[in-house]
Structure 1
Amino acid sequence: MAASPTDLSAALVTTPVALADWLVVLPPVWCLLTGALLLMMRKSLRLQGLLAVPALLVLVVLDGLLLAHVAQNGPVTMVMGRWLPPFGIAFTADLAGVLFALAGAVVALAGGVHALTEIDGSGRRYGFYPFLLLLMAGVSGAFLTGDIFNLYVWFEVLLISSFGLITLGSEPRQIDGAIKYAFLNLIATTLFLVTTGYLYGIFGTLNMADIATKAAAGRADLPLMTLATLYLLAFGMKAAAFPVNFWLPASYHTPRIVVSALFAGLLTKVGIYALLRTLVMLFPVEREELSFLIALAGAATMILGALGALGQSDIRRLLGYVVISGIGVMLAGLSLGSPGGVGGAIFYALHSMVVMTALYMAAGLAGRLAGSFDLNRMGGLYTRSGFFSALSLVLFFAVSGLPPFSGFWPKVMVAKAALDIGAWWLTATVFLTGFLTTIAVGRVFLFAYWRPAQDALPAEAVPAGALLPLTVLTALTVGFGLFPDALLSTIQAAAQGLADPRAYIGSVFPGGT
């Protein structure tokens, strides 16, 4: 007697996957494939950049198409091996994740173009571009995964590639910076893994949508506060939040300047994204109970970052503290938990990805033109290139949160959200650190650009190839500052999607199955 056919619809995806849904997995897959290709062609030094830059441009296009798809149709989910969640590993793209992924791709493309003039044959031979594509595979995967263990896996991918990038050149100061960078990041990664094992023991699942559903149903009986606190500590280390941020200013000034630019634009923002995903979507009640602690950490991060920037004479070290100060603004928005606060945190993260990458690129060009990164020895850059000086001034205004540039709007959103609940001290801290940052970067402009050169400047011209990505990133900063409406509406929808994940859960479990 012939066996009856088995009904697989309860366990497997049995319908064909729509072509547009493949966009969810294409960004990390594309980066892995092109990175492997570049690794195989590592001896073809001239082809490395010529292949990597178009590959990064394709990544931007893929993320842009995915953003349009998600904005029109809502969150999209794909599972590996056709197994239905929570058994199959899920990639889930919502507005928050795709916005971060697209901004990361733009930053990586700018870094790839800038590297054409900065990374020499030795740097290409030792794998700058394969490491960059591997880094973007980890970053893209972290922003698009719907599985918390695979968030850990993608963290590992980006960490491995970042270790390769930070030691590129094998100079003693790079090795020293890599040790400091690796130590606390490995501690944070271990804590992340241990916490995820504890989470799996509690819920029996690693799918984020499944966790969100079960956490809401069993909140009274589960140790969710312990989980939320452990994730706050682990991701706070990754994001360089106070008091576990000392690794960043000790390491970000050591690698090639384009590597520092990529790190400033990408790495800490993955930590912020993970905090938003876990504390706002998975454990919102616990985030509310931890809100005052997060706000205090955010305020301390802002102030100490700004004061650290004021105390530096090396531009690269100064910018490391500016990165830290911006993390404090994002933590402040996270602590508020309201649509305005979370939206402000997302907006500021996107702004920081673009502006901090551009500022490090500008610092590299300034150091090349002046022959030094020490403010005490720099000067006369305005006479060398008025256009480059104007770009730098715009970026200084933007990172200070001054209108009409992109840094102004998220600070206003966070400050207003804080005032709405009576947290005037948090609003005052946001504006105080903006003022201190203005002084810090204004000092850079006065000393390095406006002041006459003390010694004869090197006869090197501003490379046009390096000015191109800097100009594009600066134009984005100005554009989103002058015309923020479209981005603001998308960010507000992204924040709402994190706070109310029913659409996210519905994409993973259609019909509530």
Structure 2
Amino acid sequence: MSDLTWLVPLPVMLPLTGAGLALALWRHASAQRVITLVVLSLSLVASVGLLFAQSGSGPLIVDVGGWSAPVGINLVADRLSSLMLAISALVVLCVLVYSLAQGVADGDEETPVAIYHPSYLVLAAGIAIAFLSGDLFNLYVGFEVLLAASYVLITLTGTAERIRSGTIYIVVALLSSVIFLFAIGLAYSATGTVNMAQLAQRLPEIDPGISLALQLLLLLAFGIKAAIFPLSAWLPDSYPTAPAPVTAVFAGLLTKVGVYAIIRIQTLLFPGGRADDLLMWAALATMLVGILGAVAQNDIKRLLSFTLVSHIGFMIFGISLSSEAGMAAAIFYVVHHITVQTTLFLVAGLIERRGGTTSLDHLGGLAKIAPLLAVLFFVPAMNLAGIPPFSGFLGKVGLLEAGVAAGTPMTYALVAGGVVTSLLTLYALVKAWNKAFWQTAPAPVEPVHLPRGMVGSAAVLVVFGIGLTVVAGPLYAYTERAAHDLDDRDGYITAVLPDGGRGSGISDRVAREAAEAREAADEAVDEAEAVTP
């Protein structure tokens, strides 16, 4: 066991502790801000520490309460989960700074919605639980924790439009949760466990029909959360109405938690590619339908919401190939997309603040009056479209190469669909940039000051997105190792279940302490017998 194992629970414990403190200090806005900033900064440090702790010695495992799998709750930090934790922690922190600067600029820094900071911290904790969970039930708990917080955040201020869109979001999220919970019940009734490592051992032994039904139920539940077509209609109606920081963190992270869950179950629980054809069709439809929806939009937020749906298809494309090359490219693309999509939604908030709207019919001339804003939109837009040499281009090239290497008619169709989607993404974003920044404004725009904190947060993510291009080599090598680890199911199972899952549930540490206590007791008895006449 690594000495850095103590880092594993921190991305969960820190936000939950901070949420409790922030809620207790609900009358003190400044204290809430400090607590949230400090907690999320420490969570970022812990997550980056976990990322660098992945040295090839296997996943870092924490047995919550001292009870090991399959009885106890396990937190498992491998290369994939550590990478997802690190990028999500960075995004959550940058979005927080953006929202705080927005609050100061709007004059409500002393009287914010008191529940905002606790809810935001609970959201961060839920995301971490989902990434670290070693069993299906606690993955469900992670989803419910982050969804409960998201219900609050998406309906903040209580306007009629936000309540309506929030209701749609809540109904769809509850539906996916019910399906997920039903799948968990089926898994337990069929195998007697919900621990993912033990499920990986037992699922091949049950009836193939039941195993396939379980796989399809889980894919249905996670497909709704990831907004895969035809389960994506809820997203463009829900996200654009929320406040800009909320929309940004939702767009960047919540759908990726669903993608992460699909990666985990497809590689660990259901290897062999039985559902690959279904995923390929879903990936192709998601890419094309999503981007056609984006092309038809005249509102920046709705356009970005449809591109979000469309580019989920690229990730499912890589997963459906069931190859290390495809999985490595999919993981790389997830990291790229979290960064770029979050950045674009933050910049959309700046555009709305500067131009008074996000409607492309009412915007214009922003390049002249706000050149920095034009750059902040243009760079991540080109990155999302996949223009060389940005990380979006590198991720797409990796996916296309993996598709060509598979060499089947369906993978060639996916390659063609990916190329068409990239070209249409470029067209939609160039059209948006031209209308908002280049064409003459239909009406004079009143000068509005853009807060430095908001601009700075967006700029940090823009620079980070460029940085992904600079470090693309080492990052891609890391995702290739992560994909190799996912393919090595035995390594994960052995790390989580060192005794093959046959133990009493007592962790190695507890068992060792118990053995030491028995040894000490035996020595005491021997000493007592030695001095007894």
Task: Provide TM-score, normalisation by structure 1.
Answer: 0.94
SS in 2 for 1:251: helix
- C-alpha distance in structure 1 between counterparts of 2:172 and 2:418, whole Å: 27
Q: Is 1:501 aligned to 2:489, yes or no?
A: yes
1:60-75 superposed matches below 5 A: 60-75=44-59
SS in 1 for 2:241: coil
- C-alpha distance in structure 2 between counterparts of 1:98 and 1:51, whole Å: 24
How far 1:49 moved relative to its partner?
Answer: 2.1
Partner of 1:406: 391
Q: Is 1:81 aligned to 2:68, yes or no?
A: no
Q: Is 1:426 aligned to 2:426, yes or no?
A: no
Q: For the Cα contact (< 8 Å) 1:347–1:491, is it kept in 2?
A: yes
SS in 1 for 2:61: strand
Partner of 2:193: 205
Partner of 2:256: 269
Partner of 2:529: none
- C-alpha distance in structure 2 between counterparts of 1:470 and 1:221, whole Å: 49
Of all paired residues, the percent bearing the same amino acid is 36
- C-alpha distance in structure 2 between counterparts of 1:458 and 1:135, whole Å: 36
Q: Is 1:30 aligned to 2:14, yes or no?
A: yes
Q: Is 1:118 aligned to 2:102, yes or no?
A: yes
Residue deviations 1:164-196 (CA, integer Å, cap 9, x gap): 000110010110010111111111100000001
SS in 2 for 1:365: helix
Q: Which has the larger radius of gyration?
A: 2
1:102-501 superposed matches below 5 A: 102-119=86-103, 120-121=108-109, 124-216=112-204, 218=205, 223-285=210-272, 288-422=273-407, 423-501=411-489
Residue deviations 1:335-393 (CA, integer Å, cap 9, x gap): 11111111121111111111111000000001111111110000111112222211211
Q: For the Cα contact (< 8 Å) 1:380–1:448, is it kept in 2?
A: yes
How far 1:221 moved relative to its partner?
Answer: 5.6
Q: Which piece of structure 1 moves more, 255-264 or 47-56?
A: 47-56
How far 1:462 moved relative to its partner?
Answer: 2.2
Q: For the Cα contact (< 8 Å) 2:29–2:114, is it kept in 1?
A: no
Unaligned 5+ segments in structure 2 are: 502-533
How far 1:282 moved relative to its partner?
Answer: 0.9
Unaligned 5+ segments in structure 1 are: 1-16
How far 1:444 moved relative to its partner?
Answer: 0.9
Partner of 1:4: none
Q: How many residues align?
A: 494
Q: For the Cα contact (< 8 Å) 2:16–2:122, is it kept in 1?
A: yes
Residue deviations 1:50-90 (CA, integer Å, cap 9, x gap): 32122211111000111111235320111122122101111
How far 1:452 moved relative to its partner?
Answer: 2.4
- C-alpha distance in structure 1 between counterparts of 2:310 and 2:93, whole Å: 25
SS in 2 for 1:91: strand
TM-aligned CA distance change 1:442 to 1:341, over 3 Å: same
How far 1:19 moved relative to its partner?
Answer: 4.7
CA RMSD of aligned residues (A): 1.5
Q: For the Cα contact (< 8 Å) 2:84–2:131, is it kept in 1?
A: yes
Q: For the Cα contact (< 8 Å) 2:29–2:111, is it kept in 1?
A: no
Q: For the Cα contact (< 8 Å) 2:385–2:425, is it kept in 1?
A: yes
- C-alpha distance in structure 2 between counterparts of 1:221 and 1:404, whole Å: 45
- C-alpha distance in structure 2 between counterparts of 1:221 and 1:165, whole Å: 42
- C-alpha distance in structure 2 between counterparts of 1:489 and 1:123, whole Å: 47
How far 1:401 moved relative to its partner?
Answer: 1.4
TM-aligned CA distance change 1:153 to 1:196, over 3 Å: same
Q: Which piece of structure 1 moves more, 98-107 or 479-488?
A: 479-488
- C-alpha distance in structure 1 between counterparts of 2:389 and 2:415, whole Å: 19
Q: For the Cα contact (< 8 Å) 2:27–2:114, is it kept in 1?
A: no
